[in-house]
Amino acid sequence: MTVPQLEVRDVTVRFAGLTALDEVSFTVTPGTTHALIGPNGAGKSTCFNVLSGLYRPASGTVRLGDTDLTRLAPHRIAALGVARTFQNIVTTEGTVADNLMLGRHVLSRAGFAASALHLPRAVREQREHLARAREIAELAGLAGHFDSPVALLSYGDRKRVELARALCLEPRVLLLDEPVAGMNAAERVRMAEVIQHVRTELGLSVVLVEHDMGLVMRLADEVTVLDFGRRIAHGTPDEVRRDPEVLRAYLGTAAGEEDAA
């Protein structure tokens, strides 16, 4: 799988006169994990909604390789290889297999009529999709739950079902919106392991929005920091956590001011 560069350039989003993103730019290097962090209200979710096509910016561009995503509908962006999860768990009734097969729908070529009539090519395709869904369940640590009802799973397992469903789109870029929100310590460690494993095995790019700084420092190759819709810092995790602007945004103080007080 060829993973192209994801490039965000000078993206501005306004809502009724309020500027949610103000000329934000960053680049996600192919095959890396890029974290997008900042205090509440910084514009992180707005940025994710632009990347996935839910919002259209007032100005600026989003490009995946040579393809301009800026004005495309969400389903077209997904078909080009950009998949996302959400802060809140979004799963359907049924088994883990049922949920993962929903993620394969965009890749189906048999058509409704062929599937409804159980034509050989549709049956064969369905079998292939189910086999791939099972492989992805194993990759996400859900192999033992493949035929289990989602409603009976733990919170952490249900979050991984949502991750696995996104992977069923065979994405080149995976957008993870607060993947460990609401988890206990053990579940957070497990999810971090799965994210690392998925990126290594599939070679895709990961864009991560997360408040857990321990997870960000562990997983991210690069970090972009937003505050009030503006980019205030960018660099490696070590560089960013020492940046005076980042300290001011999170703690209300620049480096050294506490010592001088």
pLDDT digits (tens, 9 = 90+) for 110-166: 554 445 455 566 667 788 999 999 999 999 999 999 999 999 999 999 999 999 999
Taking the model in full, what pTM does it have? 0.87
Torsion of CA 52, 157, 37, 175, to 10 degrees: -20
* Distance separating alpha carbons of residues 69 and 54, to the nearest angstrom: 11
Last residue of a domain, one of 144, 168, 192: 168
Regarding whether 125 and 97 lie in a shared domain, the answer is yes
pLDDT digits (tens, 9 = 90+) for 158-209: 999 999 999 999 999 999 999 999 999 999 999 999 999 999 999 999 999 9
Regarding whether 185 and 68 lie in a shared domain, the answer is yes
For residue 2, being part of any structural domain is answered with yes
Residue 107: DSSP 8-state: G
Regarding whether 243 and 138 lie in a shared domain, the answer is no
Regarding whether 260 and 181 lie in a shared domain, the answer is yes
pLDDT value for 120: 64
- pLDDT tops 80 at residue 57: yes
Question: At 67, which CATH number?
Answer: 3.40.50.300
pLDDT value for 125: 78
Torsion of CA 89, 48, 62, 193, to 10 degrees: -70
Regarding whether 186 and 57 lie in a shared domain, the answer is yes
* Distance separating alpha carbons of residues 137 and 126, to the nearest angstrom: 16
Last residue of a domain, one of 110, 139, 168: 168
For residue 229, being part of any structural domain is answered with yes
pLDDT-above-90 percentage for the chain: 74
For residue 36, being part of any structural domain is answered with yes
Regarding whether 210 and 175 lie in a shared domain, the answer is yes
* Distance separating alpha carbons of residues 116 and 242, to the nearest angstrom: 58
pLDDT value for 107: 63
Torsion of CA 108, 113, 114, 119, to 10 degrees: 150
State the amino acid at position 28 in one-letter form: V
Total domains in the fold of the chain:
2
82 closest CA partner among 101, 63, 95:
63
The answer to whether 106 and 79 are in contact (CB under 8 A) is yes
- pLDDT tops 60 at residue 225: yes
Owning domain of residue 108: 93-168
Rg of the Cα atoms in the chain:
20
Q: How far is CA 124 from the centre of its chain?
A: 31
Average pLDDT taken over every residue of the chain: 89
For residue 87, being part of any structural domain is answered with no
Instruction: List the structure tokens of 129.
Output: 């999709």
pLDDT value for 259: 40
Regarding whether 261 and 186 lie in a shared domain, the answer is yes
Over residues 242-250, the mean pLDDT reads: 88
* Distance separating alpha carbons of residues 201 and 43, to the nearest angstrom: 31
190 closest CA partner among 222, 241, 149, 155:
155
- pLDDT tops 80 at residue 108: no
